[in-house]
Structure 1
Amino acid sequence: MKLDKKLIQYCLYFAGTALLIYAGISLFDNIGGIINFISRTIGYFMQLIKPLFIALIIAYLLYPGVKFIEEFLRKNNIFKKEGTRRTVGIVTMYILVMAIFIAIISGIYIMVGGKLSNNTSITNMTAYLTDYLNNSTLSVNSISEKLESLNISLLGGNLNDKIAQIVSSIQVYVTNSIGAMGNFVVNTGGNIATFFIALVLSIYLIKDSEYFMDLWNKIFNLIFGKSKSGNKLKEIFNIINDTFNNYIKGQLLEAFMVGVLSTIALFLIGIDYALVIGIIAGICNMIPYIGPVVGTILAVVMALLSGEPITAVWAIIGMLVVQQIDNNLLAPKIVGDSVGLHPVFTMLAILIGGNVGGLIGMLIGVPLAASLKILFSRWYANHMEKVDV
């Protein structure tokens, strides 16, 4: 008995359709679990490549410095072998960077430890501030008496009580913050291990950079060949690379200048450990809009810990002067020419970068936005040329 081919086809179509419907219903019913599985898989994969990603960032940032040292050795006929020059460049650059970080951490430890060892705690500092306000010419009592003589009540309450409430709130906030910082430090073991793995990987990436670049070019050409899209992608990568290089160089020079100016200002004011605070202020200044606040807060805290609240006022004024010099003279000349973003777009780039990638996102948000601006400008120019034709 021969089966009808059309009947078989209909049966297969029906079975296939039923199977697809069943699969669709099952997929819809388990969509939450599937999304959760995909999310976990991506998260696990990202955790695996995290050291490599960090290593690429470290290598990218330190490679220009290694090449500079390598070129210096070559020009001065120091070490004939290219491999030896590369090794010396890597060792010198990494020792220099680690020495800077160790010096900063040691400075912070000595700075904070020295102040706290002199029996100066958060409680003592707030008590001192309260005593200072009570005994100064602009004391709380004198202000209250003046307001009462004018028949003015301050929110219907006692100003001393309100100051005490504010001080108490500050103490609670600081205590909670210190507790949160302690938990963060306890949980950093895994991050430290990841960082050291990334550090070792970055050394190999720089040492054999030509090999990895050649490997990247081979993979890229294998995928795109000499197609138009491949050439466009290469152009985009070159623009991003040039923008990042210019931005990093500008930021480093600006950070150095801000660090020097901050150190001089704080030294003249009489802030202890002005050099350490100045270095931190310079480094933090590389985080636009937010970084400068860190240096100012640190200077104010050190001034308050020294037991002279008026010095904190001078510290704020000094750091504001430094920031005005930076914003109006240094940044437009040093960084502005390399980035050329309007402040509104700069702020948006920082906010979006921070929400997406945290601190790293904030750091790379501005050069990425600048790269997009260049790409858009070129696309617009080409588009207008075609329209005119």
Structure 2
Amino acid sequence: MCNKRGGNSLQPEKRSFFSTRFIQFLGGKNLLFGLITLLLLGCIILIYDKISFIFYPIIVFIKTVVLPVILAMILYYLLRPVLHLMMKWKIPKIWAILMIYIVGLSLISLFVTLVFPFLKGQFLNLIQEFPNYFMQVVHSVQDMIEKSSLSETLTKYNFNINEVLNNISNQLNVTVKDAAKELGTSLATGITGFISTLTGIIVAIVTVPFILFYLLKDGEKLPKYILKLLPPRMREDAAHVLHEADHQISSYIQGQILVAFCIGVMVTIGFLIIGLDYAVVLGVLAMLTSVVPYLGPIIAITPAAIIAVVNTPIMLLKLAVVWTIVQLVEGKFISPQIMGKSLHVHPITIIFVLLTAGSLFGVPGVVLGIPGYAVLKVFVTHLFYLFKKRYNKYTDHPDLEYEINDWKKTNNN
């Protein structure tokens, strides 16, 4: 009897499917719950696709709220260092925020009364004269080809360059006229939509100061409130992710705005020195487009190059010198000092992100694609960090283990 009992007690216990090493590595019973969650999520998506009209008010609410929230967050990250500096000077928080608002409203009033009318006049003149500049460039290219040896080669192969350039100019004129007609038709037939869009923009502009006020006042309490909603076991990891995401967004917005401002000032000064027409407007255009990395400078230099070519070839050479100096100063001195190493993103990755985000979301996607990618990268990086810890826990061979570094070191390398 004892031997039998002893024999039964020595028999290995039967292991369940969820207790195997591979399933434990994947998550054990959590794997089953994860699969069930994915199945339920798929069912929810399927149901939503069938009854999406029920959620239309929610979609309208999100579309209405997202613009003022994004604008307020950009201003919050720009003004937060100023607020912290004023608080170091022993100024109460509420009074510091009110002082920031007073200074901001004063600067906006000065811009609207002094700078905006000049920029508006210059911009309208540039819009009216730009087609003439473009046609002069086309005719210059046409004359240059006709006087060169390339004309004989094109004639030999029955390629009429004059006809091609005339077709391009005619197509450009037709496109401009059709766009004007479509704009007039859309304005005539879509007054309701136009008024709705205009109302949404006005509401966004009006609500931004209120959202910004509460962000400056209580914005630093928001991460703590979010952490309290999470289970205690997740709070440490969530705190790391929130802190790093906040650092990435703050560094990108503050750095990119400062870099764009410096580029706009340098381009304006350079164009004024060489005597290029519409120097201030082109400088402002360079400042606005510099917010988009790599693609922005190409957009900014195009109209300036066309205007320079129409003036004289020497002006084009001067423009090239100014633009080269600006890009060298920005790339070698300004960006490394302001941006630092806040975003560890390869230039090819940035271009792919800009193209993909622009195709999916248009202009907002181009502007917000890089910070969105930075936040997503922080989240994915931390998930991979947790994966490495779990892998090391269930691996047998020490040579196959991942090197686990500190969280800050992992994100800074």
TM-score normalized by the length of structure 1: 0.71
1:35 paired to 2:38: no
- 1:286 is paired with a residue whose SS is coil
Residue 290, structure 1, aligned to residue 295, structure 2: yes
CA distance in 1, matches of 2:219, 2:84: 20
Say whether the 8 Å CA contact 2:252–2:371 is kept in structure 1. Answer: yes
1:192-341 alignment runs, 5 A limit: 192-209=198-215, 210-211=217-218, 214=221, 217-218=224-225, 221=228, 223-224=229-230, 226-303=231-308, 307-308=310-311, 310=313, 311=315, 315=319, 318-319=322-323, 322-323=326-327, 325-327=329-331, 330-331=334-335, 334-335=338-339, 337-341=341-345
Deviation string, structure 1 residues 84-121 (Cα, Å, up to 9, x no partner): 3322212323554676588776454311433577xx47
Following superposition of structure 1 onto structure 2, how do residues 110-259 of structure 1 map, counting pairs within 5 Å? Answer: 110-114=121-125, 120=129, 122=131, 124-125=132-133, 128-129=136-137, 132=140, 139-143=144-148, 147-148=151-152, 153=155, 155-177=157-179, 188-209=194-215, 210-211=217-218, 214=221, 217-218=224-225, 221=228, 223-224=229-230, 226-259=231-264
Q: Distance in 1 between matches of 2:336 and 2:237?
A: 31
Change in Cα spacing, 1:214 to 1:318, as seen in structure 2 (3 Å) is closer
Match of 1:63 in 2: 76
Residue 85 of structure 1: aligned partner: 96
Task: Identify the residue that residue 52 of structure 1 maps to in structure 2.
Answer: 65
Q: Which residue of 2 aligns with 1:15?
A: none
Distance 1:206 1:165, change over 3 A: closer
Deviation at 1:238, TM superposition (A): 2.0
Name the structure, 1 or 2, with higher relative contact order (CA <8 Å, separation 6+).
Answer: 2
Pick which of 161-170 and 287-296 moved more: 161-170
The CA deviation string for residues 342-388 of structure 1, in whole angstroms up to 9 with x for no partner, is 12222232233223333222223223323343444444455445525
| Distance change in 2, residues 1:269/1:36 (3 Å) | farther
Going from structure 1 to structure 2, the CA distance change for 1:321 and 1:87 (only over 3 Å counts) comes to: same
Is residue 241–residue 382 contact of structure 2 (8 Å, CA) maintained in 1?
A: no
TM-score by length of 2: 0.67
Deviation at 1:218, TM superposition (A): 4.5
- Root-mean-square deviation (CA, aligned residues, Å) is 4.0
Q: Determine whether 1:370 maps to 2:374.
A: yes
* Deviation per residue, 1:129-186 (Å, 9 max, x gap): 466557xxx6444237x743xx762540433333322322233334445556667887
Deviation string, structure 1 residues 1-60 (Cα, Å, up to 9, x no partner): xxxxxxxxxxxxxxxxxxxxxxxxxxxxxx99973641x444432222333322222222
Percentage of pairs with the same residue: 19
User: Cα distance 1:358–1:220, how it changes in 2: closer, same or farther (>3 A)?
Assistant: farther
